Amino acid sequence: MGFDPGLTVGIAIMDLSGNLISLKSCKEISKADIITHIISHGKAILIATDVYPAPKMVKKLASSLNSKISSPSKTFTVSSKTELVDSYLNEISATDFPENAHERDALAAAIKSYKNYQNKLCQIEKRTENLNLSDEEVDEIKSMVIRGSPITKAIDEILNIPEEDDLGIQIEEMERDIESIDEEKLKEIEEAAKRLKLKIKSQERQIKNLKRKNKNLKKEVSNYRKKISSIEGKIEKLHYDYSKDILRKKEISSKVAIIKGLQEKYTKEKALREKLEENMQSIKKIRIMELSKKGIPVKIIESFTREGIRSACEYWKIKKGDVILLSSTEGGGSQTASLLIEMGIKAVIVADKMSHLAEEEFEKNMVPVLDLNNINLQMIDEFAVIEEDVLNREIEKWRRKVENKRKKEEENKLIKVIDEYRAQRRRG
Identify the residue with better confidence: 350 or 171. 350
pLDDT value at 181 more than 80: no
Question: How many structural domains comprise the chain?
Answer: 3
Query: What is the model's pLDDT at position 264?
Result: 85
Looking up residue 338, the CATH number of its domain turns out to be 3.40.1390
pLDDT in tens, 61-113: 998 888 999 998 888 888 898 999 988 888 877 677 898 999 999 999 999 99
Q: Is the pLDDT of residue 199 over 50?
A: yes
Domain boundary among 100, 129, 159: 159
Q: Which helix (H) or strand (E) holds 134?
A: none
The predicted structure's pLDDT at residue 283: 60
pLDDT of residue 13: 94
Write down the pLDDT at residue 225: 79
Residue 12 lies in a domain: yes
Distances (CA, A) of 99 to 19, 24, 25, 104, 184: 18, 8, 8, 8, 75
Do 307 and 218 fall within a single domain? Answer: no
Residues 35 and 122 in one domain: yes
Q: Which range marks the domain in which residue 219 is found?
A: 164-259
274 assigned to some structural domain: no
Q: Where residue 177 falls among pLDDT bands split at 50, 70, 90?
A: low
Closest CA to 308 of 323, 326, 322, 284: 326
List, as one string, the DSSP characters of 300-319.
EES-SSHHHHHHHHHHH---
- Banded pLDDT at 367 (limits 50, 70, 90): very high
In the structure, what pLDDT confidence band is assigned to residue 173 with cuts at 50, 70 and 90?
Answer: low
Q: What is the pLDDT of residue 342?
A: 92
Stretch 402-427: mean pLDDT, rounded?
86
What mean pLDDT is reported for the chain?
83
pLDDT reading at 161 higher than 60: no
Q: How confident is the model at residue 291 (pLDDT cuts 50, 70, 90)?
A: very low
| Top-confidence residue, 252 or 173 | 252
Q: How far apart are CA 1 and CA 45, in angstroms?
A: 8
* Residues 15-65: tens digit of each pLDDT: 988 889 999 999 888 888 898 889 888 888 999 999 989 999 999 999 888
Name the pLDDT band for 167 (thresholds 50, 70, 90). very low
Residue 133 maps to a domain: yes
113 and 209 housed in the same domain? no
Q: What is the mean predicted confidence (pLDDT) over 139-148? A: 89
Residue 272 has pLDDT above 80, yes or no: no
Question: What distance in Å separates the CA atoms of residue 253 and residue 259, rounded to the nearest whole number?
Answer: 10
Residue 414 has pLDDT above 70, yes or no: yes
7 and 151 inside one domain: yes
Mean pLDDT across the stretch 227-235? 81
- Report residue 412: phi and psi, to 5°: -65, -40
* pTM score, whole prediction: 0.40
Query: Are residues 148 and 221 both part of a single domain?
Result: no
Q: 211 and 121 share a domain?
A: no
Bond preceding residue 5 cis, omega within 30 of 0? no
Report whether pLDDT(182) > 70. no
Give 323 or 261, the one with higher predicted confidence.
323
Average pLDDT in the 231-260 region? 82
> Are the CB atoms for 130 and 37 separated by under 8 Å?
no
Q: Would residue 288 count as lying in a domain?
A: no
Single residue among 259, 282, 307 that ends a domain in this structure: 259
The predicted model gives 301-318 an average pLDDT of 88
Residue 270 lies in a domain: no
Q: What is the distance, to the nearest Å, from the Cα of residue 416 to the centroid of all Cα atoms in its chain?
A: 87
pLDDT at 164: 45
Domain shared by 188 and 153, yes or no: no
Q: Please tell me whether residue 11 adopts helix, strand or coil conformation.
A: strand
Residue 267 in any domain: the answer is no
Alpha-carbon distances of 144 from 109, 153, 341, 351, rounded to whole Å: 21, 9, 113, 112
Buried b (16+ CB within 10 A) or exposed e, 95-119: eeebeebbbbbbbbbbbbbbeebee
> Looking at the structure, do residues 13 and 134 belong to the same domain, yes or no?
yes
Same-domain pairing of 6 and 148: yes
Same-domain check for residues 155 and 6: yes
Of 240, 259, 278, which one is at a domain's C-terminal end? 259
Whether residue 146 is contained in a domain is answered as yes
Regarding whether 312 and 341 lie in a shared domain, the answer is yes
Domain check: are 103 and 243 in the same one? no
> Residue 369 pLDDT more than 80?
yes
In a domain, 221, yes or no: yes
Least confident of 155-159, 291-295, 337-341: 291-295
